[in-house]
A and B are shown apart, each in its own frame.
Chain A
Amino acid sequence: GAVVSQHPSRVICKSGTSVKIECRSLDFQATTMFWYRQFPKQSLMLMATSNEGSKATYEQGVEKDKFLINHASLTLSTLTVTSAHPEDSSFYICSAALQASGGAGNEQFFGPGTRLTVL
């Protein structure tokens, strides 16, 4: 099946610094990638939809200036957490959509996630 990688898998940073997380589709091209945030023992919350070559679409309540998303190529999307604070500590997961034939219902392939800890 299609493989999505994330780097780094774990990062610890100081409050006020910025952290970049990469999401790559390794064996397919993804015009759309998604970024999720998962709190401990909770569900995944969609943060934004990233389309190659255009601005990301953010879900309600997600600060676009705090969470910068860039989708520069069909295989790479990045999430930058700017001026990180302890409340930004979380598990960040990306997914890449593989368009299904007939256009009905794209399947998403998920990366393994990145654990961000802000001290």
Chain B
Amino acid sequence: AQSVTQPDIHITVSEGASLELRCNYSYGATPYLFWYVQSPGQGLQLLLKYFSGDTLVQGIKGFEAEFKRSQSSFNLRKPSVHWSDAAEYFCAVGRGGTASKLTFGTGTRLQVTL
């Protein structure tokens, strides 16, 4: 069965500092991988996704993620964090024919200090 692990429950970074959120997955086939952000009162928003091709994926809001098959990882990065990036971040793996059934990690709460 597929699973997603986000080892860091809570991360605090200073505004302007770089960020890396970790995600490890377990899946028997080629994974479809996603990163979502959840802000209070708002629905989850897709930051980026990986299906195939270039293993470095660019997303919205300046985020990127790198798929590393050998490490079963899909870590999310941002070179310079803004205070508005404070939110809950979820990594997910898609299953099913169209990767529509998502299995989510437990999330990482990002706090940004000024």
Residues of A whose CB lies within 8 Å of any CB of B are 4, 32, 34, 41-46, 49, 93, 95, 97, 99-100, 103-113
Contact = CB atoms under 8 A, between A and B. Distances in A.
Given A42-B106, A43-B107, A105-B49, A111 B99 contact: no
B98 A44 contact: no
B46 A107 contact: yes
Contacts, number: 60
B45 interface: yes
A83 to B, nearest CB: 27
Which of A45, A95, A105 has the most chain B CB within a 10 Å cutoff? A105
Interface of B: 32, 36, 41-46, 49, 51, 90, 94, 98-107
11 contacts: A42-B106, A43-B104, A43-B106, A93-B44, A97-B98, A97-B100, A106-B100, A110-B45, A112-B42, A112-B43, A113-B43
- Could you say which of B44, B94, B105, B107 has the most chain A C-beta atoms within 10 Å of its C-beta? B44
B43 A107 contact: no
Contacts of A49: 100-101
B43 A110 contact: yes
Given A34-B100, A103-B98, A109 B43 contact: yes
Contacts of A44: 44, 90, 102, 104
A112 B41 CA distance: 6
Given A43-B90, A110-B45, A104 B104 contact: no
B41 A107 contact: no
B104 to A, nearest CB: 4
Nearest to B88: A41
Given A93-B43, A93-B44, A112-B42, A105 B94 contact: yes
